[in-house]
């Protein structure tokens, strides 16, 4: 019974990935602006990505963005906290966005309108849009990575990919 519920969540996750896949195709200019560091610095971007990845539980994204965070100069203790979903060591001017990123991921990319309005008030419309673009990019990666893990698990009869303990511990956006 639990496996069937998990299967339904994974299949929904795959559909969510394909819906998210359209975003980069339609918004290349927004992505370039967000990823170049004009509106969101490299370190801030990595903090955002790690905040979302901690919620979604993608091991591939955690590994990659932890390496990128080290390149961006994040201290080890802050990095360890971000990997577990704790954002208190972040710079105070980034805290609102990081809490929003966690809420955004936990709400399956459907944040509360008041939370979104607070983000816009804090950072301005253009920077808030760049922050949400970063969140969309990591969400797409998380969905793809988790889907890959599930596929590995299925084709190997549980030898690769997620373990049963992982399946029970991973938070899924359904």
Looking at residue 148, which CATH number applies to its domain? 1.20.1290.10
Q: Does 7 reside within a domain?
A: no
Rounded to an integer, the average pLDDT of 121-128 is 97
| Predicted local confidence at residue 31, as pLDDT | 79
Q: Does 71 reside within a domain?
A: yes
Q: Does 173 reside within a domain?
A: no
* DSSP, res 59: H
Instruction: For residue 35, name the pLDDT band (cuts at 50, 70, 90).
Output: confident
| Predicted local confidence at residue 27, as pLDDT | 72
Q: 69: closest CA among 90, 88, 55?
A: 90
Rounded to an integer, the average pLDDT of 11-32 is 65
Domain that holds residue 71: 16-168
Rounded to an integer, the average pLDDT of 108-122 is 97
Q: Does 74 reside within a domain?
A: yes
Instruction: For residue 172, name the pLDDT band (cuts at 50, 70, 90).
Output: very low
Q: How far apart are CA 138 and CA 118, in angstroms?
A: 21
77: pLDDT strictly greater than 90: yes
Number of domains in the chain: 1
Residue whose structure tokens are 């896949």: 21
21: pLDDT strictly greater than 80: no
Q: Does 5 reside within a domain?
A: no
Residue whose structure tokens are 């929904």: 12
Q: Does 76 reside within a domain?
A: yes
pTM of the model: 0.81
Q: 137: closest CA among 66, 49, 44, 41?
A: 49
Q: How far apart are CA 7 and CA 72, in angstroms?
A: 37
């Amino acid at each position: 019974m639990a496996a069937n519920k998990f299967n339904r969540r994974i299949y929904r996750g795959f559909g969510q990935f394909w819906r998210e896949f359209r975003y980069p195709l339609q918004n290349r200019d927004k992505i370039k602006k967000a990823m170049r560091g004009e509106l969101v610095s490299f370190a801030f971007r990595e903090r955002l990505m790690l905040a979302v990845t901690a919620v979604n539980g993608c091991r591939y994204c955690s590994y990659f963005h932890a390496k990128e965070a080290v390149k961006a100069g994040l201290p080890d203790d802050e990095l360890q906290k971000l990997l577990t979903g704790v954002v208190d060591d972040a710079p105070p001017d980034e805290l609102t966005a990081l809490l929003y990123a966690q809420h955004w991921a936990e709400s399956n990319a459907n944040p509360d309108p008041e939370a979104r309005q607070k983000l816009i008030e804090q950072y301005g419309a253009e920077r808030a849009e760049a922050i949400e673009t970063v969140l969309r990019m990591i969400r797409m990666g998380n969905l793809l990575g988790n889907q890959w893990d599930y596929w590995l698990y299925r084709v190997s009869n549980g030898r690769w990919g997620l373990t049963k303990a992982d399946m029970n511990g991973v938070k899924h956006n359904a």
